[in-house]
Structure 1
Amino acid sequence: MTGPIEIRASHPGWDNQWVTLDFGHYPAGEPYVKDVPYGADRGFDLLVRTADIGVLNEALMFVDAMKWRHGDIPVELHLPHFPGARQDRLNADGDLLFTAKSVANMINQRGFRVVYVVDPHSEVLTALVDNVRVVTALDCLVSCTDAQIKGRWAGIIAPDGGAEKRALQVATYLNIPLYQAWKNRDVATGKIAGFGCQEIPPSDKPYLVVDDLCDGGGTFMGLAGVVADGVTLDLYVSHGLFTKGIETLALAFSEIYTTDSIVLVPADAVCIEVARHLKEIQR
């Protein structure tokens, strides 16, 4: 089974295939690595596919050890899902952590030549991470053939204001309309009180909801509940965490598309494989 951390030697002339980097753990939990691919001592790319900051930290420890052994060798970090990306500000109350900046600092300390990320939650991340290159939601969808995506949907739906920019990029590329949905919040509590959406005309084609991430799926189920009967919905998210499973979502959405930014992709989702090809598909 493929693990969450993979490595490939980057020096020209070596075998540049991705292979799993096997981490073991001592009884008390400390990680260890005993084998690396031939040629990695000249430079390597590291692919980390996880939502677990602890797993990312183990990968960074490996980078430290390789640089201490072999000097300042060139290393690229391919981090399709950026753990903590949603915690992208200092809040006046509530959650005290600015996790996106903490993780960015951990990464910046290693001096990566390039850091590839897929469809980060907000543009804050691009300002926090050194040498970052962003693979957009559109890049991921375009990695499919035009025959697979052009003419497939009647329109694109942004589920809230934060998703509007990425959804607009997809709608513009496909030359189809963009529709805006929104969340209504209780001003006193800050909790979501309901959902709304522009009127969506009936069509014999589905509409594609586009967003960066699905955690529990509440936003998407709320949106599906306010769309008129007879409108078929598909869902695309760059990062399918699906922490409450995918079964309920699959009842509301005809097709659910996600990438392999996380190692485990549910069988009911259509997986767009991009993680091992970020350098090639980034436009």
Structure 2
Amino acid sequence: MIEAMVRTASGARPDEVEFMRFPGGEWFVKPGPEFDPSAARFAVVRGGTPDDLLALGMWADLVRHHGQAVRVLMPYLPAARTDRDVPCGAKVYATLINAFADELVYADIHSPLAERQLSGPKTAEIPLGTLASAVLPGDYDLVIAPDAGARHRAEAVAAALGGLPVGYGRKRRDPATGRLGGFEFDPALVAGRRAVVVDDVCDGGGTFAGLAAAADFSAADRVDLWVTHGVFSGGPRLAANLAPYARVYTTDSHPGALAAVANSDRITVVNLVEHVLTQGIL
């Protein structure tokens, strides 16, 4: 999903361009009659389909033709989780992003290894603590990291919420099958408390269901979930996996979040364009 935007005094509006495809499948970007070459513009890319990146390249060529820098809000970095494989997805996708962006704003990239692949554009990361605290309730008394990979994320959110304590969970993944198991969390830490679980990505929600079972969330006053990137690809099982959580908070970094919020009144989605403009990040 790609959108071209123009900065205005009150925020932003859609740019006067049309993303179109030729009969052969090739992307093209056509300026409209009110297109202003001197306007302050940026592109927003949500998700990570190859079509979006090629459309971004066409838009970037138009912008550079008029002597402007290519500013891109791409909060979900495609393939950031495939940063150790061969072929290395993070490297392949970063090669395209490096070619098409002069300035890049992203949120909560999965790993430092993926981040290092972004060698072309000037980069800025949306501060996770500021982002989460802008929407999360202020009544928590515990932040939970479901596994070791979420540790620094949970600590950043806990600090932004006033220096809350952090509880740490564990999980194991079978390298042969990829299946999760062996979830561990001390139920005494969550009993009677208002807690929020913090992580970066939710696909099918298996991690969060396993954590809830191990921690006995039924004994808590309330447990919510914050994930920066709500991919929400789990289909029918997603609702069951997220059932132990009173509220789910995420951003519109991926089209999956917008699709999920349309079918659930328990999901709150942060508008990242409004957030980065309000915070002066873009």
Cα deviation code 1:129-148 (max 9, x no counterpart): 2311111331211333xxx6
2:29 to 30, 33, 38: 33
Q: How does 1:1-283 map to 2 (within 5 A)?
A: 4-9=1-6, 17-19=12-14, 22-36=18-32, 38-41=35-38, 44-67=41-64, 69-70=65-66, 72-89=67-84, 91=85, 96-110=86-100, 112=102, 114-129=103-118, 130-144=121-135, 149-150=137-138, 152-174=139-161, 175-186=163-174, 191-228=179-216, 229-231=218-220, 232-245=222-235, 246-263=238-255, 264-267=258-261, 268=264, 269-281=267-279
What is the TM-score when the length of structure 2 is the normalising length? 0.83
- Matched pairs, number: 266
What SS class does the counterpart of residue 140 from structure 1 fall into?
Answer: helix
Work out whether residues 240 and 259 of structure 1, in 8 Å CA contact, stay in contact via their aligned partners in 2: yes
Q: TM-score, normalised by structure 1?
A: 0.82
Instruction: Identify which of structures 1 and 2 has the higher relative contact order when contacts are C-alpha pairs closer than 8 Å and 6+ apart.
Output: 1
Q: Deviations over 1:98-138 (max 9, x none)?
A: 111222221222351x2100111112233222311111331
2:113 partner letter: V
CA contact (8 A) 1:136 1:282 kept: no
Q: 1:249 to 1:125 in 2, by over 3 A?
A: same
Measured after TM superposition, the shift of residue 54 of structure 1 is 2.5
Specify whether residues 5 and 15 from structure 1 end up closer, same or farther in structure 2 by C-alpha distance, changes over 3 A only: farther
Equivalents in 2 of 1:193, 1:203: separation in Å? 22
CA distance in 2, matches of 1:223, 1:14: 45
Counterpart Cα distance in 2 of 1:56 and 1:227: 41
C-alpha distance in 1, partners of 2:126/2:2? 19
Q: Aligned pair in 2 of structure 1 residues 226, 66: CA closer, same or farther (>3 Å)?
A: same
User: Which residue type is aligned with residue 94 of structure 2?
Assistant: A
Q: What 5-or-longer segments of structure 2 have no aligned partner?
A: none
What CA distance in whole angstroms lies between the structure 2 residues aligned with 1:104 and 1:80? 13
Verify the 8 A CA contact 2:196 2:225 in the aligned structure 1. yes
Letter in 1 for 2:246: S
Query: Structure 1 pair 134/125, CA: closer, same or farther in 2 (3 Å)?
Result: farther
2-structure distance, mates of 1:181, 1:104: 31
Instruction: Mark the runs of 5 or more structure 1 residues left unpaired by the alignment.
Output: none
Q: Is the 2:46–2:254 Cα contact (8 Å) retained in structure 1?
A: yes
Percent identity between the two aligned chains: 29
- Equivalents in 2 of 1:109, 1:143: separation in Å? 33
